[in-house]
């Protein structure tokens, strides 16, 4: 059965999923890249970026599992890039170069219309202007029975949590304090939303927590 899931999403010990003041120099916000030390050394990450073999083990296993059975993604506009307001042109094509790591349809939430963007490797970005429910409906249709992965950022995950649309969450808890930025769970009652923590696995660089609904 297909699921709507969040996977391999990293948060700091104090609950922040991104640093403040995202811009071209800080795609994940100031100090945001520190969250992902567990991921960047894995073999999964290295192969995504056409680098030499990376580390295997717990972190790599979770990184690989996060990509299993994903048929479509949903991203907030900030995850696609730092451009704000109406699209002045179509020169910005994402952070990832000509071959983004998604290899599926990707639905980007935005208030400003833009034509679909087809990239190498099977990724096509579709820009959805009529809300999260529409994006999810389109993503489920495109996934053809596979899972839909909510890739972030924080605000997008919070919207889908509040709407009761997420079935499963895999968090990688990074052992750092950001102190500021975008807080993932502030004001949300995950217990009331029906979530239970079902599995916790620690590596040297992160604690992986699997949370399911129902």
pTM of full prediction above 0.85: yes
Share of the chain above pLDDT 70, in %: 100
| DSSP bridge pairs for 11 | 173
Architecture of the domain made up of 4-17+27-83+99-213: 3-Layer(aba) Sandwich (3.40)
Q: Where along the chain do its domains lie?
A: 4-17+27-83+99-213
How many of the other CB atoms lie within 10 Å of CB of 99? Answer: 14
Mean pLDDT of 13-21: 95
Between 11 and 1, name the one with better pLDDT: 11
pLDDT tens-digit series, residues 84-109: 899 989 899 999 999 999 999 999 99
Distance CA 62, CA 58 (A): 6
| Res. 157: pLDDT tops 80 | yes
Residue 45 is predicted with a pLDDT of 93
Closest CA to 103 of 68, 153, 129: 68
* Termini Cα distance of the chain: 15
Closest CA to 78 of 94, 63, 91: 94
Residue 83 pLDDT grade (very low, low, confident, very high; cuts 50, 70, 90): confident
Residue 188 pLDDT grade (very low, low, confident, very high; cuts 50, 70, 90): very high
């Amino acid at each position: 059965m297909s699921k709507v899931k969040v996977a391999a999403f990293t948060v700091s010990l104090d609950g922040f999923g991104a640093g403040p003041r995202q811009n071209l120099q800080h795609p994940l916000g100031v100090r945001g890249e520190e969250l992902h030390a567990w991921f960047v050394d894995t073999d999964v990450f290295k192969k995504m970026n056409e680098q030499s073999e990376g580390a295997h083990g717990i972190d790599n296993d979770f990184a690989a599992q996060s990509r299993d059975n994903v048929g479509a993604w949903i991203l907030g506009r900030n995850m696609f890039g730092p451009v704000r307001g109406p699209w002045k042109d179509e020169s910005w094509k994402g952070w990832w170069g000509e071959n983004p790591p998604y290899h599926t349809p990707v639905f980007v939430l935005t208030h400003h219309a833009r034509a679909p963007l087809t990239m190498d490797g099977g990724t096509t970005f579709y820009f959805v202007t009529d809300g999260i429910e529409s994006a999810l409906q389109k993503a489920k249709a495109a996934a053809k029975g596979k899972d839909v992965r909510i890739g972030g950022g924080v605000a997008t995950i919070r919207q889908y949590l509040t709407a009761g649309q997420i079935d499963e969450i895999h968090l990688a808890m990074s052992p750092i304090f950001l102190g500021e930025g975008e807080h993932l769970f502030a004001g949300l009652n995950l217990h009331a939303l029906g979530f239970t923590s079902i599995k916790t696995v620690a590596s040297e660089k992160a604690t992986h927590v699997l949370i399911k609904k129902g």
